[in-house]
Structure 1
Amino acid sequence: MQGISTILLSCLLSLPFLVQLRPYFPNIKQMSQSMLEESMNKNIGYNYGDQINIGFSDFELIQAKNREVELQQKYDLTAIVLHWKRSDSTKIVVDYLLHSNLFKEIIIWNNNPQINLEKSLFQNYNHSLESIRIINSKENLKDQAKYRACVEAKTMACFYVDDDWDASSYLKSLVADFRADPYVLHSATDPYTFYTNLIWT
């Protein structure tokens, strides 16, 4: 009981002392606001209202854009679509490739001798079909077909996709990676397929 009384007495005695010191301490809220304003003033060169300075000049951004255009022109690509039985799926794949505007031409290699593919299959889409070329194989060459198709291409490199494969989630980044380092095999696949493609490359 005596200990509690001592603590209470100490608190009561220190209260007037703290009240007297209060005017000497700035308001915490005001201090925070002041510090924020000071920080903004120091970094005034990086604040543009609603815009953010990302650290690059307009000249540097234009240089980067010109470099991108240069790579696009230098490293034109051909898209190779391997067809077997999934004609409806092939239409979806080709439509996406046409929409992407990433390819100088699209070669559809039909591995199925029982089906004769024609451009009329893709006429429902609002695209020019001039960039599409169809090769109807007399036999099923399986994976070898994509390399045969790439030999037919007029560009220095090819992008391969099967008729049942959705490449929309990574196509643009894969092409960008290729253009940044065009002498390396770029892929989005499993290790075994990557290895077999590497052997053929």
Structure 2
Amino acid sequence: MTFKTLVASTATAIALASAAFAMNPTVGGAPMLEERNIIENAVNSPIHTTLVAAVQAADLVETLQGEGPFTVFAPVNDAFAELPAGTVETLLKPENKAMLQKVLTAHVVAGDWSAADIIAAANASPDGFYHFNAVSGDALSAKVVGGDLFIFDESGNAGKVTVADVDQSNGVIHVVNAVLVPK
């Protein structure tokens, strides 16, 4: 191998590594494509089937396919399973659609907020919390604890961001391990 070939091979390897870092993270092993919208990616995530079913039952599919931008804190299936027995089933009933919409929109923030933006806002705050509102009108707070980003609902329940910055054509998803419950 000549020096020129070695340099070319190294440059190619660096370029491929850089491209790999620029790609969206996978969610539940599924690729999340930046050119797809929030719904188009969510339906491919095997760890968000409960969330997708809830979004469909709440008639929020069209909204979350809209232009946005939206920041979505997307609870995984296990987060919904941690709710008291019967909660999900009750919320999915047609007569509880307004309540389900409120719960789901408590996970959505207007704008495209990266984890770095949220962390910077929290770190700049005197109390270490960044306070903001979901599109439902409910208060959310963000705090960095032990190097991890947590999102708190109005009751003080926290969801840890387990996968951050999953870019979408109409915003960003941050995967969380808890359901944020509005008051």
TM-score (norm 1): 0.22
Asked which structure has the greater RCO (Cα within 8 Å, sep 6+), the reply is 2
Q: Which protein has the bigger strand share? A: 2
Q: Which protein has the bigger helix share? A: 1
Larger Rg: 1
TM-score (norm 2): 0.23
